[in-house]
Amino acid sequence: MTPDPGSPADASTITDTTAETARTFDEASESFDELTPLVWGPAGQVLAFRTGIGPGDRVLDVCCGTGASALPAAMAAGPDGRVHAVDIADELLEHGRLVAERRGLKNIDFVCADATTWEPLSDVPEQGYDALTISYGVFFLPHMDRSFGRLVSQVRHGGRVGVTVWRAGAMEEFSDLVFDVVGRWSPRMRDRGSLRHRTPLHRIDTPAALEEWLVAAGTHTVEIGTLSNLLPATEELCWALVTGSGMRGMLAGLDDPQVEEVRQALADEVTARGLHTIDATTLVGTATVLRPPVSG
């Protein structure tokens, strides 16, 4: 596994990056749930299931968004369990709170906090959470390895960990196309590079790399599943992918007429390139936490 070149270098850069991520996802909140039925939702369900969350479990779900994996976790944990669903984008959390209320779920707390400094709440047993889940979020965390290791350390020995990440190649053709189109209006975006290049995602986007990374974080019995997901490249879905995900940041600084021009140009480019499907294939990694025995 290669070292992590994508992490910001110092504390002020980290604060800036985290604040920018929060702003991007808050702005994306209007469209974010348009993607839930086809993108976030299926992966979140599979993640909660494969992590093996069961009745009574205490679960930490970070980078929870509107609750794609946290809500199924809460349903699996039942009234005797509890889910702490953590994100820095409060607008997304508000959507999650509304869904939880509509579903009558009283065992989930949506908390606005930075996952890199999270400490278990007082209702978590001393030995730690029973499970940690992170769906499409871990690669946004500054110093991904250290941040993930810190979160894993909050799970008890024998507890479970589950993450989802885009598989190598997934979303690539589409995000390249979006970069090309947005770059016509915003050249600085062309220089920034895609999610894959701006974040450490590329270090964990194959089954072997993800497995090695989970073991290095202090887990064993790793299983990697591949969730195939080929999205139809309709005009509506393409635009929702831009406005309701981390790609939203690409539109920063453009005014409303420019955004409308980008929307039209994107639709034209999708047709011109003959793009019919968008590969959203996802790796689902699960593992069991191994805590070394305390000596003495």
Return residues touching ligand SAM (CB under 6 A): 18, 21-22, 25, 40, 44, 62-65, 68-69, 86-89, 92, 114-116, 135-137, 140-141, 245-246
Q: How far is the CB of 115 from ligand SAM (least distance, A)?
A: 4
Q: How far is the CB of 271 from ligand SAM (least distance, A)?
A: 27
Q: How far is the CB of 169 from ligand SAM (least distance, A)?
A: 18
197 or 276: CB nearest ligand SAM: 197
Give the pair of three-digit tokens for residue 89: 């984008």
27 or 211: CB nearest ligand SAM: 27
Q: Which residue has the tokens 């701006």?
A: 198
Strand, coil or helix: what is 296? coil
99 or 168: CB nearest ligand SAM: 99
Q: How far is the CB of 49 from ligand SAM (least distance, A)?
A: 14
Q: Can you name the residues that pair with 61 across neighbouring β-strands? A: 85, 133
Q: Which residue is nearest to ligand SAM (CB)?
A: 65
Number of H helices, E strands in the chain: 11, 9
Q: Please report how the helices 11-32 and 90-102 are oriented relative to each other, as an axis angle in degrees rounded to 10.
A: 40
- 161 contact partners, CB below 8 Å, separation of at least 6: 51, 131, 132, 133, 152, 155, 214, 217, 219, 286, 287, 288, 289
Q: How far apart are the first and last CA of the chain?
A: 34
Judging by beta carbons within 10 Å of its beta carbon (0-12, 13-18, 19+), is residue 5 exposed, middle or buried? exposed
65 or 81: CB nearest ligand SAM: 65
Q: How far is the CB of 244 from ligand SAM (least distance, A)?
A: 9
Q: How far is the CB of 135 from ligand SAM (least distance, A)?
A: 4
25 or 174: CB nearest ligand SAM: 25
Q: Which residue has the tokens 């805590």?
A: 291
198 or 291: CB nearest ligand SAM: 198
19 or 272: CB nearest ligand SAM: 19
Q: How far is the CB of 215 from ligand SAM (least distance, A)?
A: 23
Measured between alpha carbons, how far is 8 from 215 in angstroms, rounded to an integer?
A: 24
Measured between alpha carbons, how far is 51 from 72 in angstroms, rounded to an integer?
A: 11
Measured between alpha carbons, how far is 84 from 159 in angstroms, rounded to an integer?
A: 16
